Homo-oligomer: A and B are copies of this chain.
Amino acid sequence: MKQSFSNILIYGVGLMGASLAITLRKLDRKLNLYGVVRSNKSKETIQNMDIFTSVFTEKEYLEAPNWNNLDLIIFGTPVDSIESLIRKLPRELKAVITDIGSTKHTIDLSVKKILGNSHKYISSHPMCGSELAGPENAIDNLYENKLCILTPIEGCDEDSYRKIQEFWKFIGMECLTLDSSTHDETLAYLSHSPHILSSMMVIWAERMAGEVNTDSPMPIMGGGFRDMARIAGSNPEMWKAILSENRNSILNSLLEFQKDLTSTINLLKSGEQDDFQKFFEVASIKKKFLLKN
C-alpha cells in the first residue's frame, strides 16, 4: 500500500498526533514529518521521541512557517481552535488539508466561509483514542484496523479526496464517508454522549458508594463497572471543545436517553420478572447489531 504525501505537518501533537507520527515513521523512514506543539516542554518530550524531522513550538512555526513545502497538513488541535488555524493558511497552497477532530459541523462552516468553493480540505475523524492524553501516552498501533470517517466539504477537489483516503488506508484504517450533520448526530450517540454518561456514572457511584469502596482492600467492582468508567473524565480540555461544538446533537441524544431512563424506571417500579428478562434479551440483540457480530 502506498500514499502520495512526502512532507507532512502535524499541527498539534497530543496523544493522537504523536501516535499517528509513530505509525507513519514505522511505515516510511524517509518521510519528512514536521510537528507543531504548544509549549517548550512538549517540544522537548517530542524531540526525545526521535520521530519528527523537525518539531517547532507554535510561536516558532508561525514566525517562519513552511506551508508551501508541505503536501499534507493535519490539524491535531482541539476542534474549537481549527477555524483560527485555517485563517492562518496562505491563499495559495499546494497541500491537502485535514484534521482529526471529533465534530464536523463547525469545521464544515469554517472551511466554506474561509476557503470558499474551491479548496483541498477534507475533514477526517479517526475513530480511535485513549482515556489518557499527551504525546507521552502515544500508542504505536492506535490507528490500526480502526475506522476513519471522512467528511469532504463542498468545494474540495476529487484528487485531494482520493489522496486522503489512500493516506488513511496506508495507516491501516478503513474509511467511511459521512456529511458533517450525519457525522455529528451519529457520533453524539456512539461517542460524545457515552463519554458524558461514563463521567456521570463515576460521579454518581462515588457519591453513594465511595465510602464503602474506600474501606475495601480492592475496588468493589468487577470488569463491568471498570470498563464503563474507563473513558470517564478523559482529556477535559478536548472534551470541553467537543461538547461546545456538538452541543445540540448531544443535547438531543441525552433527552432521548432521559425518556428511556424514565421508561426503565417505570419498568422497575411495576414490571414483572419476564419484562426484566425481555429487556436484557433486547439489549443483547441490539448490541450484536451495533458491534456487527
| B273–A147 touching, CB < 8 Å | no
- Copies of this chain, complex-wide, total 2
On whether the beta carbons of A129 and B223 are closer than 8 Å, the reply is: yes
Nearest B residue to A212 by beta-carbon distance? Answer: B186
| Contact indicator A244/B273 (Cβ below 8 Å) | yes
For the complex, would chain A's binding face be called helix, strand, loop or mixed by DSSP majority? helix
B189 near A244 (CB under 8 angstroms)? no
The reply on A234 being an interface residue by CB < 8 A is yes
Check A224/B203 contact, CB under 8 A, given A257-B261, A276-B240: no
- The size of the chain A interface, using a CB distance under 8 A, is 102
Residues 237 to 256 of chain A near chain B (Cβ within 8 Å): 237, 239-241, 243-244, 247, 250-251, 253-256
Q: Are B286 and A202 in contact (CB under 8 A)?
A: yes
Interface 9-mer from A6-14, A64-72, A106-114, A191-199: A191-199
**Residues B224 and A231 in contact, CB atoms below 8 Å apart:** yes
Interchain CB contact under 8 A, B213 and A290? yes
Interface residue stretch chosen among A33-41, A55-63, A262-270: A262-270
A191 to chain B, nearest CB (A): 6
Binds B, one of A20-28, A87-95, A155-163, A277-285: A277-285
Q: How far is the CA of A48 from the CA of B19 in the complex (A)?
A: 46
**Given contacts A191-B221, A251-B268, A286-B203, is CB(A291)–CB(B212) below 8 Å?**
no
Q: Which residue of B lies closest to A173 (CB)?
A: B218
Known: A190-B213, A287-B233. A196 touches B264 (CB 8 A): yes
New contact pairs (12) apart from A202-B290, A204-B253, CB-CB < 8 Å:
A146-B222, A149-B220, A189-B208, A196-B279, A198-B283, A200-B261, A219-B292, A223-B231, A227-B227, A227-B230, A240-B280, A251-B269
- The interface residues of chain B lying within 8 Å CB-to-CB of A256 are 204, 207-208
